Every structure is written in C-alpha cells, then in structure tokens.
Chains A and B, each alone.
Chain A
Amino acid sequence: QITLKEFGPTLVKPTQTLTLTCTFSGFSLSTSGVGVGWIRQPPGKALEWLALIYWDDDKRYSSSLKRRLTITRDNSKNQVVLTMTNMDPVDTATYYCAHSWFGKQGNWFDPWGHGTLVTVSS
C-alpha cells in the first residue's frame, strides 16, 4: 500500500523560505517509472502543479514558480523535499505531495497525501 504524508511549518513569515518534506512508503523512488510531485491549492481555489522529481533524478518545475522552487530526494529516507523561497501571503495554500506513475502515454498522480496547510503571514 502506497502512502504519503506532508510535513512542514503551518505558519511562515513573508520573505522566509518554506521547506516541506514528503515522507512516503510502499514504493521506491529508484524504481523506473516512478515519481513524486507537489501540488498546492489556495483556500477555495483550484489545484496548481508545482514540481515533480523522477526516478532518474530528473526534475520539472512550474514555469511561473521555477525561480523559487527546488525539489530534492533522499532515497535512503524515502523522502522528497520541496523548498520555496521568498514566501508571500498569496502562497497560502494546502500543499500536497503525490506518487506519480509514468506510462507510455503520460503520467498521473495516485495516491495523494492528505495535504498540509501553510499560512503566510507576519
């Protein structure tokens, strides 16, 4: 059974750097075809794709947030870490991590973690 859980601060101040950790079980990020992604959702708004790290350590980022995001992995700890610099109140959102499977015709997120709400406020 695949499970993921997000860990990180619930409150950050403007201009600070956010560090979120996704701890997972039930799969290995070294397995071909596997990835872990981050998605966020501001309160009452739509899902926004942020970043994805592949089994071969290839990394992809949101175009609009690319300069602020870094995704890394620690295979020994079964963790993926997302950092976002220069946080602003508009970054207030629930942040999800999710397992991604890459098939011949695309990739998809399944399952997702429960999400963690991060509020940006002074």
Chain B
Amino acid sequence: DIQMTQSPSSLSASVGDRVTITCRASQTISNSLNWYQQRPGKAPKLLIYVASSLQTGVPSRFSGSGSGTDFTLTISSLQPEDFATYYCQQSYTSPYTFGQGTKLEIK
C-alpha cells in the first residue's frame, strides 16, 4: 500500500496568515492527489483534486501543488471558517489511502 504522510500533524495560526501543509507519498503517485477539509462534527469536503484543480465553489485562497511524491496545500489568507482538519488522499492506485490529517487551530 502507498503510505501518505502529512506534516505538520497540527498547526496554530492566526486569521490572515498564509499556511502550507505538506503531504508526502511513499512512492510516486504522479499528480493523483486530493485534499479534503473536515470541520468538527461534519463530513469531509473536497477542496482540491489531481493535485492542483480547485473544486467548484471552493474559495480561491486554497491552492494545491506538487507531483511525484511531494505535495502542498496552501491557504493564502486564513479565514475563521478555515480552522479545521485537512487530509490528503492518493488516488494513483488502490487502496486509495489517506494521510493522517493536519489539524489547523487558532493561535
């Protein structure tokens, strides 16, 4: 199975900050990488697919980049509603594994 490792596991930041979350795959996955946001008590929501494509309706402050084994999710200017947990997921080969999550908290 492909292992997905996110860093950091948790992160404290302030409204207006620029934040970057990293996801690393244990083997190359081309650009088959998705990002999800999960707010407390809610189902995950798709933010980014195939590494850098912004899902319809997702604010443009979210962006994704990377290919191969290293990927990043960037939030350009944090808003109060962005404090949540973020997960990456590889869709290169089954089983389509998730990362362990990055919890973004208010500083």
User: Which residues from chain A sit less than 8 Å from chain B, CB to CB?
Assistant: 37, 39, 46-49, 52, 60-63, 96, 103, 105-115
B31 within 8 A of A: yes
Looking across the interface, which residue of chain B has its beta carbon closest to that of A6?
B43
With A46-B101, A47-B101: A108-B46 Cβ-Cβ less than 8 Å? yes
What residues of B have a CB within 8 angstroms of the CB of A60 in the complex?
Answer: 94-96
- State A61–B94 Cα separation when bound (angstroms): 8
Tally of A-B residue pairs with Cβ under 8 A?
74
Nearest-neighbor residue (CB-CB) of B98 within chain A? A47
Nearest first, the 8 closest Cβ-Cβ pairs linking A and B are: A106-B32, A106-B91, A110-B46, A60-B94, A112-B43, A108-B49, A47-B98, A105-B50
Q: How far is the CA of A20 from the CA of B46 in the complex (A)?
A: 23
- Hey, which chain B residues are within 8 Å of A47, CB to CB? 36, 38, 44, 87, 89, 98, 101
> What would 13 A/B residue contacts be, using CB atoms closer than 8 Å?
A37-B96, A46-B98, A49-B96, A61-B94, A103-B49, A106-B30, A106-B50, A106-B91, A106-B92, A108-B46, A108-B49, A111-B45, A112-B43
